[in-house]
Amino acid sequence: MIAETVCSAVAAAGLGIAAVTAYRKRFLAAARIAAYSLIPLGLVMTGVVNWLADTAFSVTAWAGFAVLGVSWLLFSTTRAVERRRGGTRKERKEARAAERRAAVAPTAPTASAPSLGPGTRASTRPATAPRADSADDFSDIEAILKKHGI
């Protein structure tokens, strides 16, 4: 009984505000306010307010909401775990089978070494054997520095 009275009062107040808004020549806003203010009155007249009041004070209804919440929690948790693992059970099974096939298949001996492709700059002098003399090492460095103007 109190809910119906409150909804009716809210509707009457909303229609009053809509009338004042229309008096100020803001008809579009007045129509929108009137539409919003008629919603509580319509809910009372259709019986939705009584149904909500009966549901709000029912222990069985609240238990039902709890069961729905647990169901939703389980569903979202399983979906999150499924996404983390990489798909459905069938997809994981196929991925494991593909990994086994790849592990069994022989690999080419050159596959482990990275392929750099052909060089972009051709070597102008042939590679020589390393020298054992430390003085010769410094002469090579000096030659390189002189070549670059340093």
Q: How confident is the model at residue 24 (pLDDT cuts 50, 70, 90)?
A: very high
Asked whether the predicted pLDDT for residue 53 surpasses 80, the reply is yes
Is residue 44 within 8 Å of 8, Cβ to Cβ? Answer: yes
| Nearest by Cα to 18 from 4, 32, 39, 3 | 32
- What does the pLDDT average to over 37-45? 92
Copy the structure tokens of residue 55.
């549901």
Mean pLDDT of all residues belonging to the chain: 81
Asked whether the predicted pLDDT for residue 38 surpasses 70, the reply is yes
Q: Give the 3-state secondary structure of residue 122.
A: coil
pLDDT of residue 115: 58
Summarize pLDDT for 97-141 with one digit per residue, the tens: 888 888 776 555 555 555 566 655 555 555 555 555 556 678 888
pLDDT of residue 134: 59
Which position has the higher pLDDT, 15 or 98? Answer: 15
Distance between CA atoms of residues 53 and 69, nearest Å: 21
